[in-house]
Amino acid sequence: MQALHTPRSDGRLPLYARLRDQLASRIANGEWSPGDMLPSENRLAEEYGVALATMRMGLKQLVDEGLLERRRGTGTFVKQPAFRADLFRFFHVHDVEDPDRPVIPESRILTRQEVDLPPAVKQAFGDDGSTRCLKLERVRLWAGDPLLFEEIFLRLPDFDGLMTLDPKEMGPLLYPVFLQTLGILISSATDELSFGTATSASARHLALPADSPVAVIERVARNPVGRVIEYRRVHGRPERFRYRVNLGEHTS
């Protein structure tokens, strides 16, 4: 019988929530990959020694979060991320002339190196004893013009395999590469937008004068069990940024 324990699990949580964490942990650890069918609800309930209704509640949470999908008459599957359909879920760039049409900018990886954890990255990752991470520098372009300069910090040893990949084969977006070559799934991310001053590196790669104002996006990305595995700091040309939100009629 499986023990209900994961790093995120808390004995004070409802049983179905702890089941949700345990199942998500097994997915994150590669026991079930995208496209795999999970064992039946009855078998999982028996494996964990819980009522069938409780197991169904745990599975429903993962379905609602987009990690699993139910196929009528077949079973429950680990969901294949719909990267093409929703612009890879965590990157939103739109054509100025057609704001409703998403676009994917060109991507150029400039550097890859192992570095000491900067303070902001250490704080995002949490105090788990890590001292080193993999740092990528990348520039994004639209119609040949620089749009974004990114510093991407990734956990080690999770991303050791990224050093051997040819950057030219990675394509315009990284999350499909993480999944297809390393088995690492990004299931949630938080972006925070502010404005600041260009660094010497971002000014150079964005073709801006020194100390120019820039839009700043800080991203914290997590795997299915909520472990932070990426911290990203993005500088962008401010004249290319727009903020738009649709508010419901009952929003105040």
The domain ranges of the chain are 15-78, 106-240
Cis-peptide into 118, omega within 30 deg? no
Confidence at residue 99, expressed as pLDDT on a 0 to 100 scale? 55
pLDDT, tens only, 179-209 = 878 878 887 888 898 999 999 999 999 999 9
Above 50 in pLDDT, residue 135? yes
Amino acid at 190: T
Instruction: Quickly state the pLDDT bin for 94 (edges 50, 70, 90).
Output: low
Least confident of 174-188, 209-223, 233-247: 233-247
Which of 55-69, 88-102, 204-218 ranks highest by mean pLDDT? Answer: 204-218
Report which of 50, 45, 7 is spatially closest to residue 29, judged by C-alpha positions.
Answer: 7
Distance CA 239, CA 144 (A): 16
Above 70 in pLDDT, residue 248? no
Q: What's this model's pTM, rounded to 2 decimal places?
A: 0.71
Q: Tokens for 141, please give them.
A: 């372009």
Residue 7 Cα distances to 4, 21, 136, 150, 194, angstroms: 10, 9, 28, 30, 32
The fold adopted by the segment(s) 106-240 is Chorismate lyase (3.40.1410)
CATH of 15-78, one of 1.10.10.10, 3.40.630.30, 2.60.120.560, 3.90.1150.10: 1.10.10.10
pLDDT, tens only, 32-58 = 888 899 999 999 999 999 999 999 999
Which of 68-77, 121-130, 162-171 ranks highest by mean pLDDT? Answer: 68-77
Confidence at residue 229, expressed as pLDDT on a 0 to 100 scale? 92
Distance CA 139, CA 107 (A): 6
